Amino acid sequence: MPIATTGLILRQIKVGEADRILTILTPDLGVISASAKGSMRLKNKLFSATGLFCYSEFSLTSGRSHYFIDTAQIKNVFHGISATVEGMGLASYMAEIAAELSPAPPESEAQLRLLLNCLYMLSEQKRPVRMLKVIYELRSMTLAGYMPDVLACSGCGKYDGGEFYLNPIAGNLLCAACADKARHLPNLDEGALYALRHICLAEDKKLFSFTLSDSSLKDLSRVSEQYVLAHLEHKMKSLDFLKTVLE
């Protein structure tokens, strides 16, 4: 019995002369592995809809260890991503995070929506690359159940005013005074703290609606990156590349 679903292609591996094994983020099946027979050939019916970062409709057959793609039709291709090295770098990084988180339904639907929205913003250059990096890092971790405690200082309950410290491992906030007692240096200014709360707590439709100074964005980018690495617990190859093109 064929299985119908939609999905975003996160990763592709060439197998033999013309086949590909795809990693696909779907809303109803989670992250799946699927074989696309002959899809490397230009005249193959699967060629155009099974490329990296394609959002497509699929008809699948379930196998023992993975799925087989019978048909595929493009819903959206984010052409603008490949216009810059930075764009491709960020898209690859976001896709690697999504694959590592490997969300199952119903979380996979929210994760897919977030990634599609970020890729659209990236493709259309609606937001700076560095800002989209921060948004995706923090929001994807929040959806996966790793949201940091962003409401107040865990030491004294202070809500705002001055710099704060976010512990990337424990995920708790400390005001400057409490951070000093714990022998930590503040890593978030007031702008970065506001943006952190916004990204973690805002409704989907308001997620991208904030501004941030370059200095605050730099602070938050460093912290969000540390947070992702601490919770995924290993290095990300795509991040190493992205950092070289953003510097």
Q: Write out pLDDT tens, residues 135-191.
A: 999 999 999 999 999 999 999 999 999 999 999 999 999 999 999 999 999 999 999
Length of the chain in terms of residues written: 247
CATH of domain 82-246: 1.20.1440.120
pLDDT, tens digit, for every residue of 9-53? 999 999 999 999 999 999 999 999 999 999 999 899 999 999 999
- In this predicted model, what pLDDT tens digit does every residue of 144-160 receive, in sequence order? 999 999 999 999 999 99
Contact between 58 and 6 under an 8 Å Cβ cutoff? The reply is yes
CATH homologous superfamily of domain 3-77?
Answer: Nucleic acid-binding proteins (2.40.50.140)
**Cβ count within 10 A of residue 63:** 11
Domain with CATH 2.40.50.140 in the chain: 3-77
pLDDT tens profile 92-129: 999 999 999 999 999 999 999 999 999 999 999 999 99
The mean pLDDT value of the chain amounts to 96
b/e for 159-182, b at 16 or more Cβ within 10 A?
eeeebbbbbbeebbbbbbebbeee
DSSP element (H, E) containing 60: strand 54-62
User: CATH 1.20.1440.120 region(s) of the chain?
Assistant: 82-246
Q: How far is CA 126 from CA 73, 85, 180, 243, in A?
A: 26, 17, 39, 21
**Which residue carries 């959206």 as its tokens?**
76
Tokens 């810059």, residue located: 84
